[in-house]
Amino acid sequence: MSISFTPNSGKDFTLLARVLLPLWLLCAASSAEALQLPAPEALEKDPALHRQSVEVVEPHSSTSERQVRITYVGVPVAVLLTRWFGDAWKAPGVEVEFLALDGYRSTVPASKLSSLPAFLATARADGAPFEPNNWEQKERVPLGPYYLIWDNLKVPELQRQGSSGWPYQVARIRLRQAGDDATLRPPEADAETLLGQADTAANCLTCHHLRGIGGEKYPEDLSTVLCRWTDADLQRWIEEPTRVRPGTSMPALNRVWPEVERQKVTGRILHYLNAVKHSAPSACAGVKR
Ligand code: HEC
């Protein structure tokens, strides 16, 4: 389709401005291509970007009993988002999706990124390899090209989020509108189910996808995975995966939380996943157990 507009084609222009343009913007926003991030070396050479040292409590290595602190070098994420997306990321209701090399996906409200001290780190300040210590998933995992970190010493409440807002190996970023998650809500969801949905999105859908929404680290949709699991097994699996499958690469639920909190969140996640399992049309029909 080609649309031409000449000075006397006022009607065409109205159509363009009132109907086609918003429609196009909507389509462009929902199927937005992710931005491939430049190599970190490009930032290091840029004198306009102030790289700074940020000491954090490393959530991938810390537990509620033991704090591991690491100092990283990074650039405030707000500065980089403005450089890469202009002001588009500051529009109301925008969420920023950080997409990792291995299919991990972390979604953070843009308002949180602009109001709290978040950085994209590209190195450790001590010159050690860009990896955290005491990695729970046992592999030695490089954090680059980019690692989203938060100054959780300056804002200690941030320590409670554990590692869920800390994606590493970030290679691409995409903006999206909040509220695209209506497909995740089971019909007639009660308050507990809605809380569980938020917990599941924050703690599980970084790696797994459910009804097509979420990360790609695990290939099968969680809605069909669930059909093979009883509540009791799933609870043990979420709290302590290695007790169910020694050597598994799935990490336990946020160990930064005290045990009581972990159990409470696990309970809400199970409650929500059950509602998904029993909502019609059931994904479990025809799934082998
Ligand atoms: C950091 C990534 C990550 C997160 C976060 C994560 N998982 Fe997993 N999950 C995995 C991986 C990787 C596997 C495959 C592990 C294996 O086969 O040993 C897996 C496997 C599973 C399985 C077993 C699938 C099967 O084989 O039947 C279930 C069930 C599951 N996850 C549920 C969850 C739930 C619920 C949450 C949130 C509380 C969660 N996962 C959070 C990465 C993750």
What are the domain boundaries of the chain? 35-177, 182-277
- Determine phi and psi for 193, rounding to 5 degrees: -65, -40
- Determine phi and psi for 176, rounding to 5 degrees: -145, 165
pLDDT confidence of residue 8: 42
Give pTM, 2 decimals: 0.73
For residue 280, is pLDDT > 90?
no
pLDDT confidence of residue 96: 96
User: Which residues fall within 8 angstroms of residue 13, CB to CB, at 6 or more apart?
Assistant: 5
pLDDT confidence of residue 242: 94
Q: Which ligand 1 atom lies nearest to the CA of residue 273? A: 35
Topology agreement, domain 35-177 and domain 182-277: no
Going 72 to 80 to 139 to 63, the CA torsion angle's sign is: positive
Q: What's the whole-number mean pLDDT along residues 58-71? A: 89
Going 202 to 205 to 210 to 215, the CA torsion angle's sign is: positive
For residue 3, is pLDDT > 60?
no
Neighbours of 166 (CB within 10 A): 24
pLDDT confidence of residue 32: 65
Q: Hey, is 146 helix, strand or coil?
A: strand
* Residue 117 binned pLDDT confidence (cut-offs 50, 70, 90): very high
Q: What CA–CA distance (Å, rounded) separates 241 from 235? A: 9
For residue 16, is pLDDT > 70?
no
Q: Could you tell me the two tokens for 259?
A: 């045990």
If you measure from the C-alpha of residue 23 to the centroid of ligand 1, how many angstroms do you get, rounded to a whole number? Answer: 38
Nearest CA owner, ligand 1 atom 2? 207
In CATH, the number for domain 182-277 is 2.60.40.420
* Residue 178 binned pLDDT confidence (cut-offs 50, 70, 90): confident
Q: What's the whole-number mean pLDDT along residues 132-138? A: 61
If you measure from the C-alpha of residue 233 to the centroid of ligand 1, how many angstroms do you get, rounded to a whole number? Answer: 13
Q: What CA–CA distance (Å, rounded) separates 38 from 146? A: 10
Q: What CA–CA distance (Å, rounded) separates 142 from 181? A: 31
Mean pLDDT rounded to a whole number for the chain: 85
| CA dist 131 → 83, 88, 98, 139 (Å) | 26, 32, 18, 10
* Residue 23 binned pLDDT confidence (cut-offs 50, 70, 90): very low
For residue 11, is pLDDT > 80?
no
Nearest CA owner, ligand 1 atom 19? 250
* Residue 60 binned pLDDT confidence (cut-offs 50, 70, 90): confident
Q: Which ligand 1 atom lies nearest to the CA of residue 247? A: 18
For residue 131, is pLDDT > 90?
no
Lowest mean pLDDT among 41-50, 103-112, 130-139, 145-154: 130-139
Residue type, position 169, single letter: Q
Q: What CA–CA distance (Å, rounded) separates 257 from 101? A: 27
Lowest mean pLDDT among 42-51, 67-76, 109-118: 42-51
| CA dist 275 → 198, 239, 261 (Å) | 14, 20, 21
Q: What CA–CA distance (Å, rounded) separates 173 from 80? A: 11
pLDDT confidence of residue 78: 96
Q: Which residue has the higher pLDDT, 220 or 63?
A: 220
pLDDT confidence of residue 278: 87
Is ligand 1 within 6 A of the CB of residue 135?
A: no
| Strand spans (E) along 103-261 | 105-109, 118-124, 147-150, 170-177, 209-210, 213-214
Distance of CA 107 to the CA centre of its chain: 3
Nearest CA owner, ligand 1 atom 3? 207
* Residue 30 binned pLDDT confidence (cut-offs 50, 70, 90): very low
Q: Which has the closest alpha carbon to 175: 29, 10, 18?
A: 29
If phi over 0 gives left and psi between -120 and 50 gives alpha, with beta otherwise, what is residue 187?
beta
Mutate to test the pocket of ligand 1, among 208, 221, 240, 257 (most ligand atoms within 8 A of CB): 208
Distance of CA 260 to the CA centre of its chain: 24
Lowest mean pLDDT among 29-43, 113-127, 154-168, 222-236: 29-43
If you measure from the C-alpha of residue 35 to the centroid of ligand 1, how many angstroms do you get, rounded to a whole number? Answer: 27
For residue 63, is pLDDT > 90?
no
Lowest mean pLDDT among 114-118, 181-185, 190-194, 214-218: 181-185
Q: What's the whole-number mean pLDDT along residues 16-25? A: 44
Q: Which has the closest alpha carbon to 162: 197, 188, 136?
A: 136
The pLDDT > 70 percentage for the chain reads 83
DSSP 81: H
For residue 40, is pLDDT > 80?
yes
Q: In terms of residues, how long is the chain?
A: 289
Q: Could you tell me the two tokens for 4?
A: 């031409």
In CATH, the number for domain 35-177 is 3.90.420.10
